[in-house]
Structure 1
Amino acid sequence: MLKVENLYKAFGGVVAMNDVSLDFPTGSLTAIIGPNGAGKTTFFNLISGHIRPDRGRVLFDGQDLVGRSSLEIVRRGIGRAFQVASIFPSLTLRESLMAAVISHRRQSTQVLTRFPLQSAADRVEEIMALLELTAKADVLSRSLSHGDQKLLDIALALAMDPKVLLLDEPTAGMGPEERWQMIDKVYRLWEAEKMTLVFIEHDMGIVFKIAQTIRVLKYGAVLAEGTPDDIRSNPDVIDAYLGTDHDATVSAGEG
């Protein structure tokens, strides 16, 4: 599905991504973790076409995406929600999603149904129900809570019918209870849509609870990858990121 090979990116004299090669199988759920400055968001920017690597390939269904625009990459099936939600503040939640769905379907290569507006409306209702946003459908986007704005950003990404969804810190800026509510919705979204989901997250309780595979970045390179149990006990990861008290922290976060 999604594979990166030997990605390298430098900004001036600073190497932000150093020969990274990773494979994300179809339907997988992967967490990207690492200390600040590890290159996590740069990694997402390279995949989604917001910046271009100096060398390396981003393969999606066997085709190299390097050099293609971020819009074309979205149309091909890679969606992204950002750390800071990108929404339409003057539209209601429903209006925002309707605009996104109609825009995507007009520009996609899929054959439209006989009643495209009704089909789009049905998809909007489906997305809102999936993320438990139906009750907020007629609220202006700018008036939504921080958590609901983040959910709307994810919903807008879903409107593009992605095969791969990249989530950049979906729980950022939330309290403990709200974080767990958000990640529960993300997990149910992954189960329902059967997509490949990759997320960046700093809350290790969340990471160890839901991720199938964890990839750890440090200074733009892959430090380790494996199952949650592999990463939890990896001495290099403990030393570089988790710390010796990570077991107690994770246990507290899982409550």
Structure 2
Amino acid sequence: MLDIEDLAKSFGGVEAMRGVTLDFPASSLTAIIGPNGAGKTTFFNLISGHIRADRGRVVLNGEDVMGRSSLEIVRRGMARAFQVASIFPDMTMEDSLIAAVTARRGELFTLRRRAPLPAARDRAREILDTLGLSSRAGALSRNLSHGEQKLLDIGLALAVDPKVLLLDEPTAGMGAEERWRMIEKVHALWEGSDLTMIFIEHDMDIVFQIAQQINVLSYGKVLAQGTPEEIKRNQDVIDAYLGKDHHHAVAEDAR
């Protein structure tokens, strides 16, 4: 579904992305991990068209989208939910999603329209139901909790009917209990769809529990790729990111 070949980007004299090559099969669930400054968000910015790469290829569902704008890439099937939720604060949850759905379909949405197009309204309500937010449909976005705002941001990404969904730290800023509720919704969303989902996450308990595949970045390069079990035991990853405490935990589990 998504193939990244030799992706590179420098900012001045700093090589933020150094020839990254990765592939993401259709309907897969993949985590991107790595220490701060590893290039994780830069990777998302490059493949989604928010930043132009110096070289490389981004092949989305068989089409090279390198050099296209972020809007064109969205229209070709890649959507993104951000680390800081990007929402419409003065609109209700339902109206926000109706606006996103109508925009995706090339139609005009205004709050003056008393009756939104039935198909757009139905799709918005379907997304709310999928994310467990139906009871909050009429709430203004600015009055939502942090977790609800993050879910709405995911909903706005779903409104464009993506094939590939990028989630940039979906649990950022949440307490332990709220983090697990969020990731359970994310996992249920993936299980109930054909989405190819790629997420950045720092909580290794979450990563090891739900990811099918893990890609580890370090200093703008791919340090390792593998299943959770393979990554847990990869000495390079332990040294660069997971640390000695993790190494001891894995050793205890193996006994």
Calculate the TM-score normalised by the size of structure 1.
Answer: 0.93
**CA deviation map 1:119-161 (0-9, x unaligned):** 1111111100111011110010000000000000000000000
CA distance in 1 between counterparts of 2:37 and 2:214 reads: 18
1:161 aligned partner: 161
Of all paired residues, the percent bearing the same amino acid is 69
**CA deviation map 1:168-200 (0-9, x unaligned):** 000000000000000000000011122100000
In the alignment, structure 1 residue 65 sits paired with structure 2 residue 65: yes
Q: Indicate how the Cα distance of structure 1 residues 249 and 37 shifts in structure 2: closer, same or farther if over 3 A, else same.
A: farther
2:222 aligned partner: 222
Could you tell me whether the CA contact under 8 Å between 2:3 and 2:60 is conserved in 1? yes
Shift of 1:106: 1.9
2:22 aligned partner: 22
1:7 aligned partner: 7
The gaps in structure 1 that reach 5 residues or longer are 108-115, 251-255
Give runs of aligned pairs for residues 38-117 of structure 1, distance below 5 A.
38-106=38-106, 117=117
CA distance in 2 between counterparts of 1:106 and 1:95 reads: 16
2:113 aligned partner: none
2:172 aligned partner: 172
Give the partner amino acid of 1:144. L
Give the partner amino acid of 2:221. A
CA distance in 2 between counterparts of 1:36 and 1:8 reads: 18
CA distance in 1 between counterparts of 2:192 and 2:50 reads: 28
Calculate the TM-score normalised by the size of structure 2.
Answer: 0.93
CA distance in 2 between counterparts of 1:144 and 1:249 reads: 38
Could you tell me whether the CA contact under 8 Å between 2:238 and 2:247 is conserved in 1? no
Shift of 1:67: 1.2
1:112 aligned partner: none
Give the partner amino acid of 1:99. A
Give the partner amino acid of 1:50. H
CA distance in 1 between counterparts of 2:217 and 2:182 reads: 24
SS at match of 1:149: helix
CA distance in 1 between counterparts of 2:183 and 2:248 reads: 20
Shift of 1:249: 7.4
Give the partner amino acid of 2:23. D
CA distance in 2 between counterparts of 1:94 and 1:183 reads: 22
Could you tell me whether the CA contact under 8 Å between 2:93 and 2:152 is conserved in 1? yes
CA distance in 1 between counterparts of 2:145 and 2:249 reads: 28
Shift of 1:247: 6.1
**CA deviation map 1:85-133 (0-9, x unaligned):** 00000000000001000111126xxxxxxxx811111111110011101
Spell out structure 1 runs of 4+ moving beyond 2 A.
247-250
Could you tell me whether the CA contact under 8 Å between 1:205 and 1:249 is conserved in 2? no
Shift of 1:62: 1.7
CA distance in 1 between counterparts of 2:130 and 2:238 reads: 36
CA distance in 2 between counterparts of 1:96 and 1:247 reads: 45
2:132 aligned partner: 132
Shift of 1:55: 0.5
Shift of 1:63: 1.4
CA distance in 2 between counterparts of 1:150 and 1:121 reads: 21
Shift of 1:248: 7.3
Could you tell me whether the CA contact under 8 Å between 2:17 and 2:221 is conserved in 1? yes
Kindly report the root-mean-square deviation, in angstroms, between the aligned alpha carbons of the 2 structures. Answer: 1.5
